[in-house]
Amino acid sequence: MENTQEPRLQVAMVPTPGMGHLIPLVELAKRLVYHHKFAVTFFVPSDGSSMKLQKQLLQSLPNSISTIFLPPVSFDDLPEDVKVETRIALSLTRSIPTLRDSFKVLTESTRVVAMVVDFFGMDAFAVAREFGIEPYIFFAGTAMVLSLIFHIPKLDEMFADEYRYLPEPVKLPGCVPVQGIDLIDPIQDRKNIAYQAVLSLCKGHRLAAGIMVNSFMDLEPGAFKALMDPTSNLPPICPVGPLWLDEQPSGSVLYVCFGSGGTLSQDQVNELAIGLETSRQRFLWVVKSPHDKATNATYFGVESIGDPFDFLPNGFLERTKGVGLVVPSWAPQAQILSHGSTGGFVTHCGWNSTLESIVHGVPLIAWPLYAEQRMNAVLLADDLQVALRVKAKENGVVGREDIAEYAKGLIAGEEGKLLRNRMQKLKDAAENVLSPDGSSTKSLAQMVEIWNNQ
């Protein structure tokens, strides 16, 4: 497909809401356009929340990447406390008729060779197959979580009780053991409707024509080997990550950010502020207004509710002037992590944030909040040993003294040095897998070869 005269083959991408879902899919689209001469069209569902950041991102892309925003769906009939996973899945389910119409138009005007959806996108499989197109999954998390996804239907049959009461940690093939309490959020409450929805998504994963994973061999060799074993009878699994590649040396500022959706309680915001202040380390904190009930209150909206500065302890901003910088709601994270002065990252362990940190060799303080983040923390702290994992007190709050210790330990302590050295090795490995002969480059090329031969 080197001939530029021929129209480009087309890949349809269907992300579900959340910047954490869209950003890596956009990186995959760029790779397909720049390295493999495809054209990509995004079909973006929404629930009517502000799409400002999504639009900014999608409008900044090259011409061969187009976007169709599907009409917003309504959630007016849902109870207020419905889980975020249910809303994400429903935003696509309810967009299926409009997706079908727009997708039909695309298939009439171009040669579509594949549809790529994310974890919550299984409902779109039927649309793809109606038009004779194979559906693929882009899995924006770890191989370890993907392994759990395939294991959940078995767990569901084997245990009747909540998984946090499992007598033994779960042993996924090729992975470090995980305690029941650390498994992904939406399966922690089996009575919630999100549980059944996720269970059916898990079963649906076996129906994909292939699964691309935003991780790489050297990071999770055991998990990938098991998933790719022919006797596992799974769809072809391709490690194509990490989908980031800027480079800069690292330094001394602690970057603190809990992703697009992560929020803390008012008590926790106070403890974190005082902990950072008393650590006497430099910091850059992306702060959001507190939320006492949910840990993912800004998932759909991203922007903070109200002025987050109103919720900081009295005099905090003045006392930390020159040492700390506080940014409301959103900061250019990939740039910050690539900046020479960034020496550590307090993260909610979202997988994109984690990969961005690995690519720049920045060690972590792992502070998981929701979704699959506790499992990522287990991988980072117990297996790869590139993170300190925070411990909450009995009241669920991580204390100021502990926060100050983690910050000092990571930026200035001996343990920080060890973590940084290990992270440096992962950074080198990430660079290698993306070199022309690297394992992720080859793995993506194999998938593209199938699409080219459609």
Q: How far is the CB of 11 from ligand UDP (least distance, A)?
A: 21
Task: Report the nearest approach of ligand UDP to the CB of residue 261 (Å).
Answer: 5
Cβ-based nearer residue to ligand UDP, 115 or 334: 334
Q: Nearer to ligand UDP by C-beta: 10 or 333? A: 333
CA dist list (Å): 358 to 214, 248, 334, 364:
13, 12, 11, 9
Q: Which of 260, 279, 304, 376 binds ligand UDP (CB under 6 A)?
A: 260
Question: Does 345 engage in binding with ligand UDP (CB under 6 A)?
Answer: no
- Pick the binder of ligand UDP from 219, 356, 400, 420 (CB under 6 A): 356
Should residue 261 be labelled a site residue for ligand UDP when binding is judged by CB under 6 A?
Answer: yes
Stretch that binds ligand UDP, among 30-38, 203-211, 256-264, 411-419 (CB under 6 A): 256-264
Binding positions for ligand UDP, 286-325, rule CB under 6 A: 286
> Identity (one letter) of the amino acid at 71?
P
- Binding of ligand UDP by 69 (CB under 6 A): no
Of the candidate residues 350, 363, 368, 399, the single one contacting ligand UDP (CB under 6 A): 350
Nearer to ligand UDP by Cβ, of 10 and 214: the residue is 214
Q: CB of 168: closest distance to ligand UDP in angstroms?
A: 29
Shortest Å, Cβ 181 to ligand UDP = 19
Residue nearest to ligand UDP (CB): 20
Question: Shortest CA distance to 330 belongs to which of 285, 272, 281?
Answer: 285
The nearest distance, CB 148 to ligand UDP, in angstroms, is 17
Residue of 47, 118, 185, 218 with catalytic role: 118
Contact 152, 198 (CB under 8 A): yes
Q: Which one among 352, 357, 439, 443 touches ligand UDP, defined by CB under 6 A?
A: 352
Least distance (Å) between residue 186 CB and ligand UDP = 14
Left, alpha or beta for 154 (phi > 0: left; psi -120 to 50: alpha)?
alpha
The answer to whether residue 122 forms part of the interface with ligand UDP (CB under 6 A) is: no
Contact pattern for ligand UDP over residues 3 through 42, marking x by CB under 6 A: ---------------xxx--x-------------------
Residue closer to ligand UDP by CB (options 257, 404) is 257
257 lies in the binding site for ligand UDP (CB under 6 A): yes
Three-state SS letters, the chain:
CCCCCCCCCEEEEECCCCHHHHHHHHHHHHHHHHHHCCEEEEEECCCCCCCHHHHHHHHCCCCCEEEEECCCCCCCCCCCCCCHHHHHHHHHHCCHHHHHHHHHHHHHHCCEEEEEECCCCCCHHHHHHHCCCCEEEEECCCHHHHHHHHHHHHHHHHCCCCHHHCCCCECCCCCCCECHHHCCHHHCCCCCHHHHHHHHHHHHHHHCCEEEECCCCCCCHHHHHHHHCHHHCCCCEEECCCCCCCCCCCCCEEEEECCCCCCCCHHHHHHHHHHHHHHCCCEEEEECCCCCCCCCCCCCCCCCCCCHHHHCCCCHHHHCECCEEEEECCCCHHHHHHCCCEEEEEECCCHHHHHHHHHCCCCEEECCCCCCHHHHHHHHHHHCCCEEECCCCCCCCCCHHHHHHHHHHHHHCHHHHHHHHHHHHHHHHHHHHCCCCCHHHHHHHHHHHHHHCC
- For position 368 contacting ligand UDP by CB under 6 A, the verdict is no
Q: In terms of CB distance, is 220 or 356 closer to ligand UDP?
A: 356
Q: Which of 166, 274, 331, 412 binds ligand UDP (CB under 6 A)?
A: 331
Residue 284 forms beta bridges with which residues?
A: 255, 325
Residue 21 bears catalytic tag? yes
Q: Return d(Cα 292, Cα 330) in angstroms, integer.
A: 20
Binding of ligand UDP at residue 242 (CB under 6 A)? no
Tell me which of 98, 102, 330, 424 binds ligand UDP, using CB under 6 A: 330
Q: Choosing from 21, 205, 339, 360, which is the catalytic residue?
A: 21
The stretch among 204-212, 218-226, 227-235, 330-338 that binds ligand UDP (CB under 6 A) is 330-338
Interface with ligand UDP: number of residues (CB under 6 A): 19
153-182 binders of ligand UDP (CB under 6 A): none
CA angle 215, 62, 30 (to 5 degrees): 15
Does the footprint of ligand UDP cover residue 99 (CB under 6 A)? no
Assess 112 for contact with ligand UDP (CB under 6 A).
no
Which residue ranges make up the site for ligand UDP (CB under 6 A)? 18-20, 23, 257, 259-261, 286, 330-334, 350-353, 356
Catalytic (active-site) positions:
21, 118
